[in-house]
Amino acid sequence: MFSLPSFVLSRQFILLTLLVLVLDQLTKSWALSALFVTGQQIVVTPFFNLTPVWNSGISFGLLADFPSVTGLGIPVFALLVVAWLYLQLSQLEAVQRFGAGFIAGGALGNVIDRLRFDRVIDFIDLHLLGYHWPAFNIADSAIFIGVVAWLYGIMSAPKSEGDTHA
């Protein structure tokens, strides 16, 4: 059964979510004006570029050929995940709450892009020794960090006496 989280947990979650969301939207706003208007790529280091990429799919461009899924389905799913994370706060370990705020902020950042542009703004471009990672953004990074924190919280949680699962 769901119980609403305490005021302190709610406030921490909302502040972390907003921090990630604002950072994501500010960097995307910069990328739109500095990269997307001109189609310019900025080479920062031999392995790091800032490259304008419109992503109409989800991670790695998956489902790009299914606009009905990515246009409405993904944003609705993301909003449901954010609501579920909020309702779970009181049952989570501290590191999982941290992860939940990062996941929520990243999810909302990409939802805003989908609502504004029907696609997501990606611009962080990493490559090394012939290997090239698909372009991503701050929201994607936050979701990744949040999932890692969430999983760490699950794996490092103390086991109860009757728990026989590894």
Structure confidence at residue 56 (pLDDT): 83
Contacts of 161 (CB under 8 A, 6+ apart): none
Whole-model pTM? 0.87
Q: Cβ of 14: how many Cβ atoms within 10 Å?
A: 14
Catalytic residue flag (residue 163):
no
Q: Cβ of 6: how many Cβ atoms within 10 Å?
A: 11
Specify whether the CB–CB gap between 48 and 138 falls below 8 A: no
Which entry of 24, 113, 122, 125 is annotated as an active-site residue? Answer: 122
Structure confidence at residue 32 (pLDDT): 96
Tokens at residue 159, please? 């086991």
Low-confidence ranges of the chain (pLDDT < 50): 1
Q: CA torsion, points 105, 111, 116, 117, in degrees to nearest 10?
A: 120
Catalytic residue flag (residue 65):
no
Structure confidence at residue 7 (pLDDT): 79
**How many whole angstroms separate alpha carbon 7 and alpha carbon 89?**
11
pLDDT in tens, 91-110: 988 999 999 999 999 999 99
**All structural domains of the chain with their residue ranges:** 14-156
Structure confidence at residue 67 (pLDDT): 62
Q: Is the dihedral of CA 19, 23, 29, 30 positive or negative?
A: positive
Which entry of 24, 113, 125, 140 is annotated as an active-site residue? Answer: 140
